[in-house]
Every structure is written in C-alpha cells, then in structure tokens.
A = this chain, B = another copy of it.
C-alpha cells in the first residue's frame, strides 16, 4: 500500500478521496516541503483542480503551508495517529511481552504488521539509550528485506503469497537484499518450516535481527516481533540462540490475544 512499486494498475475505486490521498502521499513522501509547482508536475493535474484539492487538505489540517508557501504534512495527522496507536489492541496486548523480551536480551525489540506489501512498525522497546521515539514506530518498510516482514510472509497461504510476490519490485538496499521472488520464496518456505526468520543486513548495512511470526485467530493481523541490533554485537550464533525466546514471546502474545479477544472471532 505504499508508494513503492505499484506502477501499472493503481486504479483505486475511492473516487475523490483517492485523488486526495495521492496528494497526501506525494507531500509526506517528499524529502522537503513542496511548492505548488512541484506538486503540479508530480501530480499531473490541471492547476485549478490541484489548487482546490490542496486548499481542502490545508483546511482540514492534513497539510500545512510553511513560511515560504510550501506544502508540508499537517499536524492533524499526528493527532489521528496518536489515537489510532493508543487504542490498538494488538499493540496493547503485545506490549508487556515486548518489554520482557527486551529485558531478557538487552537489545531493541520491534512489533510490526503486514499491510499490503509493507511492514508497519507498531511498537518498539529500545535497549539502553534514551529512546528517540517515533524513530521506527509508524514507519513502513518493505516486507522482503526485514525479519518481521519475512516472518509475516511465511504465514500467508500459498496463493496470497504468490500474488503478493508477483507485485513486488525489489530494491537492493544492501549487498544481501533479495533480488528476486525466487530466492525470497525459497527462504520463506524455510522460515515457515523453522518458525523464525533472520535479517542478515538485508535492509540496512550493519543491522541484523531475528524475528518470529505473530498472527490473530481471524488473521486480521499478520505480523511479527523481532530482536534487532548491530551486526558486530549480534553474531549469527547469538541470533540463533535468540530464536527460541522470540518464538516463545510470540506464542505468549498469541495466547493473550486468544484470552482477551475471545476464542472464536
């Protein structure tokens, strides 16, 4: 669902809303605030139309105009997100288990869910240093080069998996990033067997992790948890050792969800 590789068929059936969301995507994905003309070029729409659309987004607080008349993401988005996050049941249930895992290992622990082709990080419990909050939470990362992503993919039924893989476009973030659906699929099969996944510096050089899949009974959530850290500290041997506690924590989260959400949703 991210702006990643959806080149061709992007015909969303959401009418006016869809067009506005494309604009929101443009502005929030930009590396700096955009001027009207920049957006005009990117969006490829008539000036008058674009102007009114942007006005509406401004008036709703979804976008803001900075001092130089450039368009930046609006703070209302923060407000929405804060509430969306605070009440998220999956996150609330997982939280204590993430903390336990962090205590046991001393490293950073993540919780993420699969949304479209991306992993969205729902929570993070950081090791030592005074957390730079939001640093990861809410971020969307590709599913094919993150531990949580590959763990999540291993939960998908064969058909959905093939469909999803077919739509992927592989960006080579590091030397070890997967470059094709074939190698990825092979690894995902392995992950499905063993019940845990590694990220061997596939998304970011020097960062690796071990992850385990987590899902809700009704499959509303398909995601995972991971222990992440610098490669120099986290040897493959150590990661392999941690596969067990990560899987145990994942199991406890799912058990808690069964209790809290009722057995037969």
Contact = CB atoms under 8 A, between A and B. Distances in A.
Interface of A: 1-2, 12-18, 20-21, 24, 28-29, 31-32, 56-57, 59-62, 64-68, 72-89, 99, 113, 115-116, 118, 120, 122-126, 130-131, 133-134, 137-140, 216-218, 220, 261, 265
B56 A15 contact: yes
A80 B73 contact: yes
A120 to B, nearest CB: 5
Nearest to A81: B81
A135 B32 CA distance: 27
B56 A17 contact: yes
B79 A139 contact: yes
Contacts of A32: 87
A28 B84 contact: yes
B124 A79 contact: no
B125 A130 contact: yes
B265 A67 contact: yes
Nearest to A20: B17
A141 to B, nearest CB: 10
Contact of A73 (B56, B84, B216): B84
A82 B137 contact: yes
Given A56-B17, A59-B13, A84 B80 contact: no
A39 to B, nearest CB: 16
A124 B134 CA distance: 11
A78 B131 contact: no
Contacts of A65: 220
Contacts of A28: 80, 83-84
B138 A82 contact: yes
Contacts of A99: 130
Contact of A68 (B17, B125, B134, B265): B265
Given A14-B60, A77-B77, A131-B131, 7 more contacts: A29-B83, A67-B218, A72-B84, A76-B115, A79-B120, A82-B137, A133-B133
